[in-house]
Chain A
């Protein structure tokens, strides 16, 4: 278990100082596939480098198995890294690369060869063990980088955007394989990415970061269904934002008749309301729902559904996905009016977030 406690990192000093991380608290469980997700410059790579030991924290603790490892140099930490650039040693063969961590740590030579064979078998690179890294494709280099980091049996494996250099098809395949490998080994993975699809499909839990702070830490479903704020809602998937007012336990949206608050929601005064495009219903919905009228501004056919951009009467736009399982969507035309319903239980009330309001 890795306990990150009030970890902060400041680069530089004085006026040019840059606060890359502002007091991060996360507990990463044993055997978890944990992802740090965020746009570039959000601090995710800095956090990973702090865990690896390449950077020293400005404050806080990194507690691994009850011991603060924040001041231990990288070569003595039981964590290994798969680098974005792979950083394979070009003058060594695949097998020599994989053996490096074991040799550097002074593992008994008799144990190194079997371990190298075993790990190359796991990543399916045994047949290329005598190749040099310059003679391999990106996907192969990636497997070797993975094998090299796994060979010394780290307590935690750190992966710094390892799939970003691969083409789409290979990336999908490697996502699947990484996840399978992580399950089979039961090893804790800390994975850094800016790709939300990658994060959603692979992770047990995701920490969404922005501006050096944690926005939300949750499993993929919770992040998508119950984003903590506007930034998370926008970064993960697509979202519509509408402004409303809560008064007397009722929500008024775009001048429509007040409806009861969604289940479990609690607020008063002006609020930002979020709804995912696929939750918007064409026509009117049964039960509690807000009905809105608008004009179709754009239509994009995408096979299973039709993406509709609707211009509402108050000037806001609303995007929705109308499934193509009936003939209803064939009657849609740009410029035509359309009535939609927003089921109350699909609405999410978000706190007003000044920093991300723009």
Chain B
């Protein structure tokens, strides 16, 4: 049984010009201890699908699915209270802008311990001890001291480490990372990707990486889903995807990588005709 299983997910937004389907009939499933990458350009619906799982979409969004189960339990049918007990504990998420995701008014320590208190009922010395452990685990030097620091006193890379510490605080079974390194420098990106992959292996978590960067996919994923305009274009294990892409859209994306340039012109996605795949991809 897959850990997270989504069948025929559609997310529609009510806009002034009518209903807009950001995600249109997508199946996603991820097994325990698997790294799944969802890759696509802006507007492909890659983030929206995961926000639907987390229940973080605004009220204008309508989420429908034939099934959305986590460990066999239906996320859409359960009460908000039951769902809250899972979200943040068994399923955690980190976002693109680490500095903006943390609350500037509270210390890093407070924000980590808040999760521990809410989901695990840890308080006082036990919770502080666990927070130090977590900061050590994500590689922040001098963790006991840093618990008292505010987000603005840390760099972008360190803030992302704190976000990861909060996300893994309750030993989640699934971690969703939405463009976790896009705002960071290359050398810091490498550190954060290595950290995520190490934590995934050590804690036996499943990891969903949402990204637009084929390099990040190549460095982390076991399996890949390629999305375009709310449709799934291709799903394959990482090696087959790079070696023998089936969809013309995937071929176009790989060809547009500057490192794959042949001659002095880059092929652009427009050079590949793939719009007809949109209908067939469902």
Chain A partners chain B:
no
